Amino acid sequence: MSAPARRWHLLPRTLWMRLLLILGIGLLLAHALSFALLFQERMDATRSMMLRNLYEDVPVSVALLERLPAAERAAWIPRLERRTYRYLLRPAQPGTALDSARARQVTALIHDALGREYALWPRAVSRVPERYEVELSLRDGSPLTIEVTPSLMPVATWLPWVLVVQVLLLLICVAAAVRLATRPLARLASAAGQMDPAGRGAALPERGPTEVMQAARALNALQTRVAAHVSERTQLLAAISHDLQTPLTRMRLRVEAMEEGDTQDKLMRDIDQVSQLVCDGLNYARGARIALDAPVRLDLRAFVESVVDDYQDAGRDVRLQASESALRDTHPLVLRRVLQNLIDNALTYAGAVETRLRVEGGVVHVDVLDRGPGIPENQLEQVLQPFTRLEPSRSRDTGGTGLGLAIAQQLAQALGGRLRLSNREGGGLQATLTLH
């Protein structure tokens, strides 16, 4: 798998989740960028305000302390304290040279604010948190230290909660917008999956956004054309199969009038095979145009038991495994034809059949199992197509025409179900009819 394919494989499978992920991440990044720019702008404004206040406050505070008697200075020190700096009546603590550009900028600002009249001795006292002290001597020789402790911009306690609420509202709006945009597409995909090539299904609803309406209209037109094509082909098949019955009957009568012998037997076998092919062709054509009556409530376990009992009464080796109970609204005549086709196919190639009824997650599965030769894995789907025969296990010599499984598949779709074939461990074939 290539690198781009791997990246796409990591994305969610549904369009709704992909759009939600892309738009959600994009809007969250834009929101985070806006907040970062706003925070940076406030940081710059706060820093500028602090420097301006420092520039205006330091000369006033130092001039006030110069004029106060030494005994009164300590009482005024708390009044001069600010959030990021304060005045101390002591020498600066031992430290190192200033190593940050901001500390050097503040020291230069203090020097300029005092008119460069005082000698300054700055020292870095702490790095984490950053703290540095700038020492100077008043005119009477008393030491004065300006302790600077830069800090982040104060944030209100309610601000993080406001940001969380904004993000949640943003995600909710994105989810609602994506859902509103993809719901018509999901409905269209669901309806398209239920389209019937024979035209028995209802037309797709042509409503929603313009693009969805256009797609539904195009699919309805396609379904109409496909249904007309299928109807034309099935009518042709039915007509040919029906018209062949009369000459076949005449041929059978003429062959029966011949002298008995190998030639007569061979001709009769050929006529029987052609007759079987014509009969299956008629059944397939009828299945394509089958009209379903109103469904009835069936106990599927009892129904399958009745089908198995009919075969057992006829002396056929058909058994029913332990099965679960299930009730479904379905069409019993069509369902019986599906099961009979599957059982007849298994009896033809295996001689013995087992059936069972399973219910998994509310979905009913009817299995028809045999121990025959099975089908190659790469041809399991192909044998469900009309007139498909496999050699040598499914050959014309056994009487097969290639329509039995195709008719079962066709009738299963008419029931709204699905027919699936799989090989069994140890040999044999499993045909599973799934009814939702």
Topology adopted by domain 292-435: Heat Shock Protein 90 (3.30.565)
144 bridge partner residues: 136
Question: Looking at residue 208, what is its pLDDT?
Answer: 73
- CA-wise closest residue to 227 among 288, 272, 182: 288
CB 388 within 8 A of CB 397: no
Q: What is the pLDDT along the chain (436 residues), one digit of tens a residue?
A: 555 555 555 666 677 777 888 888 888 888 888 888 877 887 777 778 778 888 888 999 999 999 999 889 999 999 998 888 899 999 998 888 888 888 888 889 989 999 888 999 999 988 888 889 999 999 888 999 999 988 766 666 777 788 888 888 888 888 888 888 777 777 777 777 766 666 666 677 777 778 778 888 888 888 788 777 767 776 776 777 777 778 878 888 888 888 888 888 888 888 887 777 777 666 666 655 565 667 889 999 999 999 999 999 999 999 998 778 888 888 888 899 899 989 988 998 888 999 999 998 889 999 999 998 888 888 888 888 776 666 544 444 444 556 678 888 888 888 888 899 999 988 899 999 998 7
- C-alpha 286/C-alpha 168 separation (Å) is 58
Domain covering 210-286 in this structure, CATH number: 1.10.287.130
The values of phi and psi at residue 23, to 5°, are: -65, -40
- CA-wise closest residue to 233 among 274, 166, 285: 285
Q: Is residue 118 helix, strand or coil?
A: coil
Q: How many CB atoms within 10 Å of residue 270?
A: 12
Question: Looking at residue 255, what is its pLDDT?
Answer: 82
Q: Domain residue spans in the chain?
A: 16-148, 210-286, 292-435
Question: Looking at residue 307, what is its pLDDT?
Answer: 93
210-286 and 292-435 agree in CATH topology: no
Residue type at 411?
Answer: L
Domain covering 16-148 in this structure, CATH number: 3.30.450
Q: Are strands 143-148 and 317-320 parallel, antiparallel or unpaired?
A: unpaired
Question: Looking at residue 147, what is its pLDDT?
Answer: 92
Q: Exposed, middle or buried by CB within 10 Å (0-12, 13-18, 19+), for 14?
A: exposed
CB 225 within 8 A of CB 197: no
- CA-wise closest residue to 293 among 326, 339, 342, 329: 329
- C-alpha 391/C-alpha 260 separation (Å) is 32
Residue with the two structure tokens 């034809």: 337
Question: Looking at residue 370, what is its pLDDT?
Answer: 93
Tell me if the pTM is above 0.85.
Answer: no
Which DSSP letter does residue 260 get?
A: S
